[in-house]
A and B are shown apart, each in its own frame.
Chain A
Amino acid sequence: MKMKKLTATILSGVMAVSLTACGGGDNKAADTANSAATDTGNKAADSAEKAPDTEQAQGGVELEVVTTFAGNDGNAQTYKKFYQMWEEKTGNKVEDMSATADDTFKVRVVTDFETGSEPDVLFFFNGSDSNNFIDAGKVISIEDIRAEYPDYASNLDDGRIPKSWVDNKAYAVPVNGIWEAMFVNTEILDAAGVAMPGADYTWDQFTQDCQKIKDAGYTPIAAALGDIPHYWWEFAIFNYNTPENHLTVPESIEDEIGKGWVAGMEDIKALYEAGYFPENTLSAKDDETFAMFTEGKAAFLLDGSWKVNGIASACQSDPDDPSTLDTEKLSKFDVTYVPAKDGRKATDLIGGLTSGYYITKKAWDDPEKRAAAVDFVSYMTSDEVVPEFAQHGSSALKNVPEVDENVFNELQIKSLKMVAGSTSFTGPVQDLFQGESRVPTFDGMPEIVTGSVSAEDAVQEGLDIYWSSDL
């Protein structure tokens, strides 16, 4: 129990320090140019050859690699392209066993480690999903790899490589990151006579705007509280915290942070009672409310960076072909900061690098595979490859390539600007607050907003579960 609190505190400190650093111009990092896909290939190949740490593997090594770049993941094709280029360059072979990152996939990865059939290289989440195999010492930390390959992941900013919650060491080499913010349908704002919110947006302004939008006959907020309350939960709590202490799970509702959690839930309840969520917010699924937003029925949407592409594809006649984009429709969408209350500044964002490449002990202990695995990860996280994955998202690169705005659509450029204006990035506290402890305030959100359970009781119940489990 003490252990848990300690790691949480360390983590929050580390995150806050490292991430505030990326506030200013550094954010270009995130925002990398999609430097014309044709020549990147060559560049990438060049750079990897130059890389001194790659003891050129002689080829003929077969690496088993599991990633989440599969199926509908936006980067599935990018991943395929680059691992095949790596194969060509080194003569090694990648046995790709990637799959969509759903629950079955997570269970499979865990089971693999338990039965000793884990892959050589794994691209996986670095949150609590990884606790078990890190605890069991089945993956090698970046520190240990650097003892032998000093340049491993040296092109990345160490401060921004997330640490494991088990031992506060870094294991996963990150590629692309996420942020969470508020998307806006400006057509509705215009119709309701509401100005586009900016960096100093406050909660009071927000509720006034919601009322205006509601009076104009639209739904102010697109959210399915009965299905995915996660984003509202996170920001409502963040409002009462600062980036420095947001990643602290309170001990009870009595302490300062705990009071903030309760107040955050009360804020969501107030929005619900004022009728700012869709009428069927408790029974709708997230897909439905997202469709309300893209179809011009709801004005605000709190969601993550991946929705930039989701909104764009909703404006395309062929969702998989960006050339069919209806630019006029897309221009109606914008992205801005989540309205702030109490301690937080509106420009403080939630975000981070939530996954990365692990090298397993199994591959490390195999003299044939060690060099190949290190070379593979170095290649896939090199300065040339990372931007291809990160696109308009964020990354941990030290040298941030220039942004070529021509390759991005309007919403992507708007989000680049939004991110560039942010003052900090903080990881979501809900990543610490997992499983059963979430039940009272996540799945229980409908009970809280309808008043059948009080916010205090729900938060306290969740905290009790959190502190009584010993993970």
Chain B
Amino acid sequence: MGANIYKNKKPLFLFLLPAFIFMIVFLYFPFFKNIVDSCMKIKQLGTSGEVWNEPWYSNYTKLLTDENVRTSLKNTLIMTIVTIFGQVGIALLLALMVDNIKRGAKVFRTLFFFPIVVSATALGLLFNLIFLYDTGMINQLLTMFGRQELIDWKSEKWALFTMMLPVMWQYVGFYFVIIVTGLNNISEELYEAAAIDGATRLKRIWYITVPLLHNVLCTCVVLAVTGSLKVFDLPWTMFPKGMPLKSTFLTGTYMYYQTMIVKDVDYGCALAVMIVILGVVLSRIVNAIFKEKDY
């Protein structure tokens, strides 16, 4: 029956065209230029290339041998795992908890959203100060509890932890909002019916809520994977240039570094292409695993 309604495909163009015209003109066309640029010699950001690289794919062979690309892919992979389990996981738990309380739900919904509103530059500064070597909040606390030596939270040993914790924390609120929206979609009657059948609250969550959230969670995971590939501002503010010893590069920060700091603009373009391809491939994999369902 469902298919019948939408058999007439004429309105399809009306629905799709405006959005895709926007994207083609303002995203794909410029990005196509970016792909061309990745094969040319660009002297300065803002100018266009005149000569092709020799060979034209030289930036892509460079990608394969560049040690920093490997570091950034490794870190990004860790970041992806952290985002999926840390961000989406915590967000789901928080959303379920908020959904199951009566008083104060509205307040929590508002408060959890706060970190997304504050700009990453300000958050970067805040976390810098929290993890500061000399007078940072954590080191001050540790000294108060009698610790003699200060911990350099930004040294190689701790850097990844110090970088990922704030990123994870910042976006929990984002997924929280999306999941809460999804929870709205679940009819109260289902819960009531289950409650009458004697199902405990945990069982109701496991057998009703989670399966019905399937599509929303799938959306979240796609967003988390693509997001971790391009996350840039907070890590960059805290660990510019892959400090220390280029050990904290992510794909997003490394692309920014090559484009804006090293000014190897065409190589930056190649990195952007790599990120887009990775993003598409990974999101296909996520979709294949989760298999979005129609109802």
Contacts and interface: CB of A to CB of B under 8 A. Distances in A.
Interface residues of A, number: 33
A115 to B, nearest CB: 9
A438 B152 CA distance: 27
B128 A114 contact: no
A426 to B, nearest CB: 24
Interface string B118-157: 0000000000100011100000000000000000101110
A227 B245 contact: no
A283 B128 contact: no
Given A284-B133, A288-B132, A443 B246 contact: yes
B126 to A, nearest CB: 14
Contacts, number: 76
Given A110-B47, A283-B152, A471-B43, A434 B244 contact: no
Interface stretch (B106-114, B211-219, B256-264): B256-264
B159 A110 contact: no
B45 interface: yes
Interface in A122-153: 129, 131-132
A227 B152 CA distance: 16
B155 A107 contact: no
A436 B262 contact: yes
B100 interface: no
Question: How many residues of B sit at the interface, in one of the four size bands?
Answer: 20 to 34
Contacts of A284: 133, 154
A107 B241 CA distance: 19
A53 interface: no
A283 B154 contact: yes
B159 A283 contact: yes
Contact of B243 (A226, A292, A434): A226
Given A280-B152, A280-B154, A435-B262, A114 B159 contact: no
A443 B241 CA distance: 7
Interface in A410-438: 434-436, 438
B86 interface: no
B46 interface: yes
A471 B43 CA distance: 7
Given A132-B47, A288-B134, A297-B134, A436 B243 contact: no
B238 to A, nearest CB: 9
B181 interface: no
B130 to A, nearest CB: 13
B200 interface: no
A292 B134 contact: yes
B50 to A, nearest CB: 11
Interface string B43-79: 1111110000000000000000000000000000000
Contacts of A131: 43-44
Q: Describe A's contact surface by its main secondary structure.
A: helix
A110 B46 contact: yes
B240 A227 contact: yes
A402 B48 CA distance: 49
Contact of B263 (A292, A435, A450): A435
B128 A282 contact: no
A447 B68 CA distance: 14
B48 A114 contact: yes
Nearest to A108: B46
Contacts of B246: 443, 447
Contact of B152 (A279, A292, A447): A279
A57 interface: no
A436 to B, nearest CB: 5
Contacts of B44: 110, 129, 131-132
A439 interface: yes
Interface in A281-320: 282-285, 288, 292, 297
Contacts of A435: 262-264
B90 to A, nearest CB: 28
Contact of A282 (B43, B45, B243, B262): B243
A118 to B, nearest CB: 12
A436 B154 contact: no
A414 B241 CA distance: 35
A103 interface: yes
A327 interface: no
A243 interface: no
A446 interface: yes
A435 B261 CA distance: 7
Contact of A283 (B134, B243, B262): B243
Interface of A: 103, 106-111, 114, 129, 131-132, 226-227, 279-280, 282-285, 288, 292, 297, 434-436, 438-439, 443, 446-447, 450, 452, 471
Interface of B: 43-48, 128, 132-134, 152, 154-156, 159, 240-246, 260-264
23 contacts: A106-B45, A107-B46, A108-B46, A109-B46, A110-B44, A110-B46, A131-B43, A131-B44, A226-B241, A226-B243, A227-B241, A282-B243, A282-B245, A283-B133, A283-B155, A283-B156, A283-B159, A434-B263, A435-B262, A435-B264, A446-B243, A447-B246, A471-B43
The 7 closest A-B pairs by CB, nearest first: A110-B46, A283-B154, A435-B263, A111-B46, A283-B244, A280-B133, A282-B244
